[in-house]
Structure 1
Amino acid sequence: MAQSMKLTCLDCGQVNRVPAEKLDGAKCGTCGTKMVSSKAVEVDFATLQKAARNDDLPLVVDFWAPWCGPCRMMAPEFSKAATTLAGKARLVKLNTEEYPQAGQKYGIRGIPTMAGFKSGREKARQSGAMQAPAIVNWVQGAV
């Protein structure tokens, strides 16, 4: 029997069960959005909570704010890392200015901060701006 993974649609928030061998082309059964993207996706607080709690594929969150210089410097690097890690992890961004409750819930004390989640648990955390190769190495080693 083929192994399946639970993934939360980052567009509509619906939890989907996806066969592991079809991860690349999988689409949400509710809205049709591609489940695994090669781009960093901006999410809201509710979607982040649901994905962090349910997803079997590692979820890496960049907690950032528009006024933060290091966050703006890291944004293109985070996007490059998302391309490299497509199919191995999903990279998402959450604006802590727009969703301050996220900073409180996840104990974010400085930005940019990345947190890696897998199967409902936070596996690793890293603060400070990083280059794409360092982000990829961190995700592969820690999450």
Structure 2
Amino acid sequence: MTESALLVCPHCNAVNRVPSARLDEGPKCGKCHQLLFDGQPVELTATSFQKHIDKSDIPVMVDFWAPWCGPCKMMAPQFAQAAAQLEPKVRLAKVNTDTEQTLGEKFGIRSIPTLVLFRQGREIARQPGAMNTAEIVRWALSKISR
């Protein structure tokens, strides 16, 4: 990572530049003054998705899910716990494929839940199926350390 990192605010979608050495210190958004990391996955829409993927200097892991999906519902609290453990190394986000069908189609999501890990705007890994917190954390760390 460089001396500073660009981070997209999970609340207002403003792009912030944060010194890399201060990522663990609870940085706040320069626009809305809320925490840039709050230990919760960010809900992304077709409007906010590309900004979070393209403008973030940290990897972004996206859970493609749907509210009717049993395994998705079972994995949701596990994914939230993983967010608390992985931030600020990785931003965790969720995309509801029912309301954001174009994103599901764009990324060829054939089964849910599917985790897709992005770095600097590009997909670097994909994992279909529900996982527990430890598996999510282990999978993400193994992919970003390459």
Do they fold alike, i.e. is TM over 0.5?
A: yes
Between Structure 1 and Structure 2, how many residues are aligned? Answer: 142
Aligned counterpart, 2:12: 12
Gaps of 5+ in 1: none
- Per-residue CA deviation, residues 77-113 of structure 1 (Å, 9 max, x unaligned), is 1111111112211111111111111101222111100
Opposite residue 128 of structure 2, the aligned amino acid is S
SS, match of residue 5 in structure 1: strand
Aligned counterpart, 2:117: 116
Gaps of 5+ in 2: none
Query: TM-score normalised to the size of structure 2?
Result: 0.91
2:105 pairs with 1:137: no
Aligned counterpart, 1:51: 52
- Per-residue CA deviation, residues 43-86 of structure 1 (Å, 9 max, x unaligned), is 22222211111111111110100000110011011111111112
Query: TM-score normalised to the size of structure 1?
Result: 0.93
Q: For 1:67 and 1:125, locate their aligned partners in 2 and report how far apart those are by CA, in whole Å.
A: 22
SS, match of residue 23 in structure 1: helix
Structure 1 runs of 4+ off > 4 angstroms? Answer: none
Aligned counterpart, 2:104: 103
Contact 1:10/1:47 (8 A) holds in 2: no
1:5 Cα deviation from its structure 2 partner: 0.4
SS, match of residue 102 in structure 2: helix
CA RMSD of aligned residues (A): 1.3
Contact 1:37/1:90 (8 A) holds in 2: no
